[in-house]
Structure 1
Amino acid sequence: MLTLYSYPDLFGVADNNAFGLKVYAFMRLCGLEFDHQHILDTSHAPRGQLPYLSDDNETVGDSDTIITYLKSQYDLQIDRALSPGQQNLDFLVRRTLDDLYWPMSYSRWRDDRYWPAFRDAVLREHADVTASDLEAAREYNDKRYRYQGIGRYEPDQVYARGIGDLRVVADLLGDSGFVFGPEPASIDAAIYGFIANIYFYEIDTPLKAYVLSRPELVRHCRAIHERIARA
């Protein structure tokens, strides 16, 4: 039995972390049967990171590695028709989304304007999470931001960087369909994992304001959200 371990849900999406939601959406789009376990403890995860996948005796970490494993192990056809050029674009978009992760995370854990609302939402929706848990996570993330570099920027610079990433993704999307045509590919699941965690986020950060200003991002996000809800 496939089991996906990822962070808790929030604001109506299945995982409040973009990488876990990316894998969840991919698995739903592919019609895989799996159990979804929401956890905070990363001690059993490869490299101590979520999400991770359990497949009988196999444990796989890292969102891209999980997706590659599932496509190979279960002969999934979702990306089979992609041309070499499309595969390269898929790679570049995923790297852009990896960069977007940092401003997104910063808006929740570091920015004093938005942190209280995020903290209160988690505490309201998850009774098993304590305020001390979140404060410890905030301190940990603050160190990560400084080591990565984003924590050395001014807030306006952080969000300008994230909006730059969002602009590139928005410009790829048309008025209908998905990145490579009328049916979604795995890159659409990846985009959804990030955009849904901004669009459905009930706090008006600069990133959300930009998403709302781009109909392409909203349309794509809602289209994937509806597909995986009925999958």
Structure 2
Amino acid sequence: MTKANRPMALTLYSYPQLYGQSDNNPYGLKVATFMKLCNVEFRQAHIVDTTNAPRGQLPYLDDDGVVIGDSDDIIEHLTVKFDLTIDRGLTDEQRRTDLMIRRMLDDLYWVMSYSRWADERFWPSFRDELLRTHGDLRPDQLEAARTYNFQRYHYQGIGRYEPAAAYKRGVRDLQALAGLLGDGPFVFGDQVHAADATVHGFVANIYFYDIDTPLKQAVLAAPNLVEHCLAVRTLASQG
């Protein structure tokens, strides 16, 4: 996992930064964290236009002209290409647990997104921070994105929930995650793995946000989630 013989031909396209996080979307932060933990050199390009993205979704990776979408596919591609050892010692049971965590966090994603774009209590703070942090964004662009997200929430289902019921789902996801993490310090004990980058992508995008949603309250109520978030952040910053 050294940087030797790895020319930097990798560009990670992801959403803009926010509240000190390199991506305000958990999947982009997940991949960026993974690459830093594995000492894979890359350039991160922050965009909002998903026209050229595979399936119209971010993040995606441009590996010297080869484009890979989906955070899990990006991690798999990098693991094979650079023979990364971060998950080499995992047991079959741990790999199944890794998959279940990822699928559970897919559920949490919708509640996180709902809290930012749909909940009238928190939308103004999220909107204003985006506009303050990124001077090239316009209010009409964010309103258009909000309208689009309302459609997504309706067809996915979370938009048909009352707010309390929506947050109940997300809080339960976070409580289950805290239970799986246990005493840590990482998901599978003393060594950091890709699962930790995945967890960090989500928890950091709640913990470091100056928006007091029920999801943030659930993270603050779970000291092991906070400790994990800070530990992975420190390791990634050393990569």
Question: How does the TM-score come out when normalised to structure 2?
Answer: 0.95
Residue equivalent to 1:173: 181
> What SS is found at the alignment partner of 1:59?
strand
- Quick one: which amino acid aligns to residue 67 of structure 2? T
In structure 2, distance between residues paired with 1:176 and 1:18:
21
> What SS is found at the alignment partner of 2:67?
strand
Q: Percent identity?
A: 58
Residue equivalent to 1:230: 238
Residue equivalent to 2:102: 94
How far apart are residue 172 of structure 1 and its match?
A: 1.3
Task: Map 1:70-149; keep pairs closer than 5 Å.
Answer: 70-149=78-157
- Quick one: which amino acid aligns to residue 159 of structure 1? Y
Post-superposition CA distance 1:23-79 (Å, at most 9, x none): 000000000010011111111111111000000121000001111111111111110
Task: Map 1:1-20; keep pairs closer than 5 Å.
Answer: 1-20=9-28
Residue equivalent to 1:216: 224
Matched, 1:56 2:74: no
- Of 181, 186, 189, which aligns to 2:194? 186
Residue equivalent to 1:158: 166
Deviates more, 1:193-202 or 1:168-177: 168-177
Matched, 1:39 2:39: no
Post-superposition CA distance 1:60-110 (Å, at most 9, x none): 000011111111111111101000000000000000000000000000000
Post-superposition CA distance 1:145-203 (Å, at most 9, x none): 00000000000000000001101110012334211121210000000000000000101
After superposition, the CA RMSD in angstroms is 0.7
Matched, 1:29 2:37: yes
In structure 2, distance between residues paired with 1:192 and 1:160:
21
In structure 1, distance between residues paired with 2:184 and 2:92:
23
Question: How does the TM-score come out when normalised to structure 1?
Answer: 0.99
In structure 1, distance between residues paired with 2:184 and 2:201:
19
> What SS is found at the alignment partner of 2:19?
coil
In structure 2, distance between residues paired with 1:117 and 1:205:
11
Q: Which runs of 5+ in 1 are unaligned?
A: none
- Quick one: which amino acid aligns to residue 152 of structure 2? R
In structure 2, distance between residues paired with 1:49 and 1:8:
14
Residue equivalent to 2:4: none
